Amino acid sequence: MHLIVRSLGLTEYVAVWKAMRSFTDSRDEQTLDEIWINQHTPVFTQGQSGRQENVLEPRDIPVVHADRGGQVTYHGPGQLVVYLLFDLRRMDLNARRLVDGIEESIVSVLAGYSIGATTQRDAPGVYVEASKIASVGLRIRRGCSYHGLSLNVAMDLEPFDRINPCGHVDLKMSQVKDFGGPTDLALVTKDLVRVLSHQFRFTSLIHTKGIGDSLVA
């Protein structure tokens, strides 16, 4: 199977979110699956099960209510955000298997950096020791996925103190840098794309940049 890997650079969250929805609504059986790679300018996003009391003190950072699963999280520079726009029916995947595959891919990449990571069945994401290093939040629409994962690499973690991350009081957030892993997002991106493409059985990668005018509202 072919996979388009789209590098977007530093982006504004709402614009990319709208583009993901537009892509999902307009795709058909012949549309190739895509992975969108980006970092976001600082933003808090509330998932569909998010509660306002978990946004403690956002101050100068905007809060966006998104249509993904999960609760509140933070995105900012130095964090790798990967959106998976997959036709799940064509891939014979359900939401649980998609989440499991994403988490297993992150754990595998971190193992390559000698970072021992685990998952928790009742709390999506990836954990190192007593901290959360990666989050997963998805939306399934018309049998297709969008949104995806965020992996903290080398970022300012302070904004996480302004929320209860993922709705958990006192949840500690961490990043690859904390455990002696690479701080080069290009390297981590390359490793994660390679593992994700293998995990979901893509045999050919088509690399490109930008979203394209047709998907920008």
> What would the DSSP string read from start to end of the chain?
-EEEEEEEEEE-HHHHHHHHHHHHHH--TTPPEEEEEEEESSEEEE-TT--GGGB---TTS-EEE-SSSS--EEE-TTEEEEEEE-BHHHHT--HHHHHHHHHHHHHHHHHHTT---EEETTEEEEEETTEEEEEEEEEEETTEEEEEEEEE-S---GGGGGB-GGG-TTPEE--GGGGT----HHHHHHHHHHHHHHHTT--EEEEEES--GGG--
For residue 166, indicate whether it is catalytic: yes
Residue type present at position 169 = V
**CA 67, 72, 78: angle at the middle one, nearest 5?**
100
Pick the catalytic residue from 166, 173, 185, 188: 166
Q: Compute the distance between CA of residue 6 and CA of residue 165 in angstroms, rounded to an integer.
A: 28
> What are 206's two structure tokens?
């088509």
Phi, psi of 122 (to 5 degrees): -95, 5
Residues with a catalytic annotation lie at 166
